[in-house]
Amino acid sequence: MAYDLDSVRSQFPILSEKVHDRPLVYLDNAATSQKPQCVIDAYDDVYRRVNANIHRGVHHLSNVCTSLYEDARKTVASFIGASDASEIVFTRNTTEAVNLVANSFGNKFVNPGDEVVLTVLEHHSNIVPWQLLCQRRGAKLRVVDIRDDGSLRLDQLGEMLSQKTRIVCAAHVSNVMGTVNDVRQIARMAHAVGAACLVDAAQSVPHFAVDVNDLECDFLAFSGHKIYAPLGSGALYARRHWLDEMDPWMGGGEMIDKVSFAGTTFAEPPLKFEAGTPDYAAAIALAEAIRFVQKIGLDNIAGQDEALARQTIDGLQSIGGIRIVGTHGPHSGAVSFLIDGVHPYDASMILDKMGIAVRTGHHCAQPLMERFSIPGTVRASFGVYTSKDDIDALLNGVERVKQMFA
Ligand code: PMP
């Protein structure tokens, strides 16, 4: 154990809740994470002490709140290795960040006959915005397959890329399988044909150190709520030249320079892409969540995650009669599986009665389910507070489920 797990766990009030009279075993972190006291306090503090709308005010509280919001932007920038805070656009979540790129980049640079390349393992939020774009612009969507072990067919990506490709969009980590894609290689391959690259980092940023320069990507999206921050916080990283070249997606207050009926000019990035009053309380608390994970250490978190995934997979395999979906390791943050002869919903309902929260279903990745010809999976996903005991509880629960259906 590379960090003091008990001390980390003690910072999450919800972990002392009981579920069906059992201690909570929360293994649904890929859907959303729980919040430590420091993040709850940071959020609360905005409303208790400093709340005032940002940017437009000249009064004291507005200035304090604006500084906290812009400091949060700097914290996000340095957390993911962006060279300048202006490359960070605050969004509500990953979904909004991808939609921003699909609209602002897509409407300008994707033309009839052009191609947008995705992978079959994407979350719906990195599929549907691109489908809508392609319909709007008369462009073609192309999809890179995986192997049966969940690894991405980079060979197929190589064959698919051409001068027609405008952008390649890929998840860093699969939210279903916990498999890790080589997004730096994907970015390099995209750039070799003059295309841009968007990384959906929703499932990587909470689990290991991510650096946009190291990944060489043009865009990177993540959600605050999956990294111990409040709902409504998230960010898009975009290389500054794209932010300069792209037109705004949404119009409104905050994003303008001068408005008249003769025409409107826009604010400099990133504000050009932040129309309306943002959830500044959530953004400020996101910075606190980042400091929280940095204090534990991203490398420590990554090591712990990998050990938990190994314990889960080894344990499930030794039970027998279990199919792991996506065996290509190392896994980061999540493991999906099916129990022979048991519908995933039945398995999850029984586990719930034991206080074990896992997610069941298609995990917003229906094309991936179709690829494996399965209706869904049971997914266990980990957070900084996940213990070996939690995994033991899951494994015991799975054994019970098997006995009940024997
Ligand atoms: N991408 C991935 C890989 C995800 O796991 C998720 C959330 N499950 C999303 C995108 C969407 O995140 P959000 O709903 O916070 O926008």
Q: How many Å separate Cα 361 from the centre of its chain?
A: 18
**Where among 294, 313, 328 does a domain terminate?**
294
Residue 282 belongs to what domain range? 40-294
- Assess whether 90 and 156 both reside in one domain: yes
- Assess whether 188 and 72 both reside in one domain: yes
**Where among 294, 328, 348 does a domain terminate?**
294
Nearest-CA residue for atom 7 of ligand 1: 31
- Assess whether 217 and 161 both reside in one domain: yes
Residue 148 has pLDDT above 70, yes or no: yes
Q: Would residue 240 count as lying in a domain?
A: yes
Nearest-CA residue for atom 12 of ligand 1: 94
Is 364 labeled as catalytic in the residue annotation? yes
CA of 257 to the centre of ligand 1 (A): 32
Pocket test for ligand 1, best of 118, 123, 332 (most atoms within 8 A of CB): 123
Confidence of residue 381 (pLDDT cuts 50, 70, 90): very high
Instruction: Give the domain CATH number at 400.
Output: 3.90.1150.10
Token representation of residue 177: 């399988």
- Assess whether 320 and 386 both reside in one domain: yes
Q: Kindly state the average pLDDT of the residues 148-177.
A: 98
Looking at every residue in the chain, the average pLDDT score rounds to 97
Instruction: For residue range 34-82, list pLDDT tens digits in order.
Output: 999 999 999 999 999 999 999 977 899 999 999 999 999 999 999 999 9
- Assess whether 58 and 154 both reside in one domain: yes
Indicate yes or no: pTM above 0.85: yes
- Assess whether 179 and 243 both reside in one domain: yes
Find the residues whose C-beta lies inside 6 A of ligand 1: 30-31, 93-95, 123, 125-126, 171, 175, 200, 202-203, 223, 364
Residue tagged 């978190």 (tokens) = 301
Instruction: Give the domain CATH number at 216.
Output: 3.40.640.10
- Assess whether 63 and 197 both reside in one domain: yes
Q: Would residue 35 count as lying in a domain?
A: no
Tell me the β-bridge partners of 377: 361
- Assess whether 328 and 199 both reside in one domain: no
- Assess whether 46 and 154 both reside in one domain: yes
Residue tagged 């009665």 (tokens) = 353
Pocket test for ligand 1, best of 32, 90, 95, 100 (most atoms within 8 A of CB): 95
Residue 1 has pLDDT above 70, yes or no: no
Q: Kindly state the average pLDDT of the residues 350-372.
A: 96
Q: Kindly state the average pLDDT of the residues 347-374.
A: 96
How many domains, in total, are found in the chain?
A: 2
Instruction: For residue range 51-60, list pLDDT tens digits in order.
Output: 999 997 789 9
pLDDT of residue 237: 99
Instruction: For residue range 261-287, list pLDDT tens digits in order.
Output: 999 999 999 999 999 999 999 999 999
CA of 378 to the centre of ligand 1 (A): 17
- Assess whether 76 and 55 both reside in one domain: yes
- Assess whether 256 and 346 both reside in one domain: no
CA of 226 to the centre of ligand 1 (A): 8
**Closest ligand 1 atom to 173 CA:** 3
Specify burial of residue 185 (Cβ count, 10 A radius: 0-12, 13-18, 19+).
middle
**Closest ligand 1 atom to 92 CA:** 16
65, 134, 197, 364: the catalytic one is 364
Nearest-CA residue for atom 6 of ligand 1: 202
**Closest ligand 1 atom to 226 CA:** 15
- Assess whether 311 and 366 both reside in one domain: yes
**Where among 294, 322, 348 does a domain terminate?**
294
